[in-house]
Amino acid sequence: MEYIYLDHSATTPVRDEVLQAMLPFYGPEFGNPSSIHSLGREVRQSIEASREKVAKALNCDPSEVVFTGSGTESDNQAIKGAVFANRDRGDHIITTKIEHHAVLHTFEYLQKHFNIRTTFLGVDRHGLVDPEELKRAINQKTILVSVMQANNEVGTIQPLPELANICRENKVLFHSDAVQAFGKLETDVKTLGVDLLSLSAHKIYGPKGVGALYVKKGTRLHPLIHGGGHERNRRAGTENAAGIVGLGTAAELAAGERLAQGDRLSALRERLWQGIKKNIPHVRRNGHPEKSLPGTLNVSFEYIEGEGILLSLDMKGIAASSGSACTSGSLEPSHVLAAMGVPTEIAQGSLRFSLGRDNTEQQMDYAVEVLAQAVARLREMSPIAPRPSCGIAGKSS
C-alpha cells in the first residue's frame, strides 16, 4: 500500500542529497573539529561551510549563526539566555498564546522559578497578533518579545517587521520562532527586523536533533550549556558535525526551491480543501485566508473527534495530525484553536494536513475520498451529529 504522508509540520523525511552529504561524517570524516590535525580541520571546514549556507538563507553574517540541538533548544536558548543576560534591565517578557510549547513552557518556567513577569498576547479569529496590543503590553521593564513567524497548527503568518519595529522603538529584544517558516517563507533577518531567530533541520528535510539560532551581533545572551569554547562560547559541546552538514545542505536546497514549492503546495492545499468542502458537510477551515504557510490546512469536522478520523485515515495509509504532534494523545483541545476562539467541541474535531515535496494531486483526491467515508461513518455513530436524511442536530434514530 502506498503511504500518503500529510504531516510535514511534525517532521519531514531526510532528503537523499542531505543523507549523502552527512554520511562521510559517520565514516572517514570522524575528526574532532577542535583538533589541530588535518582530520579535525577538515571537519571544522565542513561545519563552517554549513554555517555560511545557513547565514546566506538568513542574510546574516556566519558569526551570527549558533548551531544547537533542536528548534526547542534554540527557543530555550534565545529566551532564557536573553532574560539571564538582561536581568538588570527588567523582569518582564511578552509572547503570544499560540506559540509552540518550546516557547510557552519556557515562559512559564521563568515566571515560576525566576519571578519573571509574563504577558501572553491574544490573537484574532484568523490567528493574527495585533501590533497595537503589543504596543500596549510593553512597559519600562520589558526585556524581550517572542512571536513566531508562522504557526505550526494553522499556518498563520505574523507581521514580524511591524512587530519588530515596535520592539526596536522601545529598545526591547525581539525573538522569533521561525521553525515552521524557515525554508518556506523569506527569512531575511534584516527585513524581518529580529534580534534572535530559531530554526530546525528536521522540518526542512534535514535530520532530527539539530537546529540553529540567529543571534544579532551585539545581543547580550547567556549560554545555557557551559563547557568548552565551542560556537564562540555560546554553546559548549563537541559539534554534531553530520547534523550540522545536513542542516546546511537542507537549508541551501530549500532556499533554491522555495518559491516553486510554495506555488505547488498552495495549489495542492486548495485542491484538498475544495475536495473536502464539496464532499463533506459541516466543515470549517481554521487559519488566515491569505497570510498562511503554503502547505498547511487546518479543518474542523463538526460533531466528531479528530483522533477517530486520524485512526481511520491511518488504516488507509494516510498520515495527518490533530493539532501539534506534542499534544496528540492528550485530550486537551489545541491551545492555538482555543486562542482563536474556536469552541472546544469544534476544536476537538480538527485535523491538520501539512503537505510536502512528494505529495501529488492524486494523493489529495484519494485523501478526500477516504476522509469523506471516515467522517460519514463516525458521524453515523455520533449521538450529536445531524442525520443526513433529516438534518436535525441532537436527534438519533
Ligand X SMILES: *Cc1c(COP(=O)(O)O)cnc(C)c1O
Binding site for ligand X (CB under 6 A): 70-72, 100, 102, 148, 152, 177, 179-180, 200, 202-203, 211
- Of all residues in the shown chain, the one whose CB is closest to ligand X is 71
Q: Rounded to whole angstroms, what are the CA distances from 385 to 279, 326, 345, 393?
A: 16, 29, 12, 6
Are 322 and 307 in contact by the 8 Å Cβ rule? The answer is yes
Which residue matches cell numbers 541551501?
Answer: 252
The least CB distance from residue 134 to ligand X, in Å, is 19
Distance from C-alpha of 142 to C-alpha of 7, rounded to nearest angstrom = 37
Closest to 118 (Cα-Cα) out of 144, 136, 98, 87: 144
CB contact set of 330 (below 8 Å; sequence gap of 6+):
none
Nearer to ligand X, 189 or 378 (CB): 189
The least CB distance from residue 208 to ligand X, in Å, is 7
The least CB distance from residue 382 to ligand X, in Å, is 31
Long-range contacts, stretch 262-267, CB < 8 angstroms, 24+ apart: 262/184, 262/294, 263/294, 265/294, 265/295, 265/355, 265/356, 265/359, 266/294, 266/295
Nearer to ligand X, 137 or 326 (CB): 326
DSSP secondary-structure letter at 28? Answer: T
The least CB distance from residue 154 to ligand X, in Å, is 11
Cell of 223: 549560554
DSSP secondary-structure letter at 156? Answer: B
Nearer to ligand X, 70 or 158 (CB): 70
Q: Catalytic pick from 60, 167, 326, 390?
A: 326
Q: What is the 3-state secondary structure (H, E, C) of 194-227?
A: CCEEEEEHHHCCCCCCCEEEEECCCCCCCCCCCC
Nearer to ligand X, 323 or 386 (CB): 323
SS3 147: coil
Residue 132 CB burial class (10 angstroms; 0-12, 13-18, ≥19)? exposed
CB contact set of 315 (below 8 Å; sequence gap of 6+):
none
DSSP secondary-structure letter at 182? Answer: B
Nearer to ligand X, 22 or 148 (CB): 148
Nearer to ligand X, 197 or 280 (CB): 197
Residue 390 appears among annotated catalytic residues: no
The least CB distance from residue 220 to ligand X, in Å, is 23
Are 100 and 75 in contact by the 8 Å Cβ rule? The answer is yes
The least CB distance from residue 366 to ligand X, in Å, is 26
Catalytic residues: 326
